[in-house]
Structure 1
Amino acid sequence: MLTHRWVDIDPIAAGQHPLYGIAGWLPWVLAIAIAGPTWVFWQGLSMDALQLAGADLFDANAPGSGAINLTTLLYLISSVTVLVLATTHDSAFRPAMLVHMALLPPLIGLMLMAGGIPEARSTFIDGVAVAAALTLTCGVYLQASRRVHITFELRDRAPGEHAWFKRQKRAAAG
């Protein structure tokens, strides 16, 4: 039975562990987790939305420019935060990544809807679908990955965990 009991390990031992670092599936998970909200963001900022805001997005009097600027700022802050936490091996990486994947895509649609951007409702629906897909794939990986736990939280599986999975040494026939 899988119980996934995690125990703290020494930082020096974690740094020397073969699973320590950003390798294996983790770079792909990072790329997908950034690409999902990016796709939703660009879907929401279609040409119609940019034309509605006008040529100068920083003009506060242009309709929709505030929502577009705020959405851009939120998107950039969330994406940069996740990447910085990943490269610095910070212990807040996993929770920040889960929040980034689950909340950012629908929030992009909600903010654009609040700003009166055309097609924002479909962006919200796309955002919910992307958030669900990211959480069910990348989120499950982040929760179960031994590499993520060793690298970011300095934790490893408890001794004897998954012992049934390891190959049993067979007695030599004698």
Structure 2
Amino acid sequence: MLTHRWVDIDPIAAGQHPLYGIAGWLPWVLAIAIAGPTWVFWQGLSMDALQLAGADLFDANAPGSGAINLTTLLYLISCVTVLVLATTHDSAFRPAMLVHMALLPPLIGLMLMAGGIPGARSTFIDGVAVAAALTLTCGVYLQLSRRVRITFELRDWAPGEHAWFKRQKRAAAG
């Protein structure tokens, strides 16, 4: 039975572990977790939204430009934060990724709705769907992945945990 009792391990031992590092499924999870909000972001900033804001997005008097600029800033900060935490193997990576995947896509739609951007309601609905899909796939991987725990939290299964899972050494034939 899987109980997932995680215990702290030595940083040197974690660095020597074969599952240490960003490899396996983790790069794909990172790519999907960045691609999902990116898709919602670009759907929200359609040509209609950009035309409403006018040519000068940084003009505070243009209608909708503040919402677009704030959404862009939030999107960039969230994506860069997740990627920096991943590359530096920071222990805050897993919680930050879960927040990034669950909250950023619908928040993009909410911010655009608050700014009166056309099509923001459908962007919010898309954002909720993307957040649910990301959380149910990539979020589950982040919660259960041994690689994520070893690399970012310096934790591994408790000794004797999952003993049935380990390969049995066969006696030498002869």
Shared fold (TM-score, shorter chain, > 0.5): yes
Tell me what 2:140 maps to.
Answer: 140
Aligned position for 1:82: 82
Structure 2: stretches of 5+ with no match in the other structure: none
Amino-acid identity (%):
97
How far is the alpha carbon of 1:130 from its aligned partner? 0.2
The alpha carbon displacement at 1:172 in A equals: 7.9
1:69 Cα offset (Å): 0.1
Relative to structure 1, is the Cα distance of residues 62 and 173 closer, same or farther in structure 2, using a 3 angstrom cutoff?
Answer: closer
Structure 1 match to 2:45: 45
Counterpart of 1:154 in structure 2 is 154
Q: Distance in 2 between matches of 1:59 and 1:170?
A: 72
CA RMSD of aligned residues (A): 1.4
Once the two structures are superposed, what CA deviation does each residue of 1:93-138 show, in whole Å capped at 9, x if it has no partner? 0000000000000000000000000000000000000000000000
Using the alignment, how far apart are the partners of 1:161 and 1:80 within structure 2?
36
1:169 Cα shift?
4.8
Cα distance in 1 between the residues matched to 2:173 and 2:152? 45
Q: Summarize deviations over 1:12-53 as a string: whole Å, max 9, x none.
A: 000111111111110000000000000000000000000000
Structure 1 regions of 5+ residues with no counterpart?
Answer: none
CA-to-aligned-CA distance 1:63-87 (integer Å, 9 cap, x gap): 0000000000000000000000000
**Aligned to 1:104, what secondary structure does the other structure show?**
helix
Please give the TM-score of this superposition, normalised by the length of structure 2: 0.96
Count of aligned pairs: 174
Deviates more, 1:118-127 or 1:157-166: 157-166
1:156 alignment partner, SS class = strand
Q: Measured at CA, do residues 171 and 87 of structure 1 come closer, stay the same or move farther in structure 2, by a change above 3 Å?
A: closer
In the TM superposition, residue 161 of structure 1 has moved relative to its aligned partner by 1.2
What is the CA distance between 1:165 and its match in structure 2? 2.2
Q: Which stretches of structure 1, 4 residues or longer, exceed 3 Å deviation after superposition?
A: 167-174
Q: Distance in 1 between matches of 2:108 and 2:34?
A: 14
Q: For residues 171 and 128 of structure 2, what CA distance do their matches in structure 1 show?
A: 54
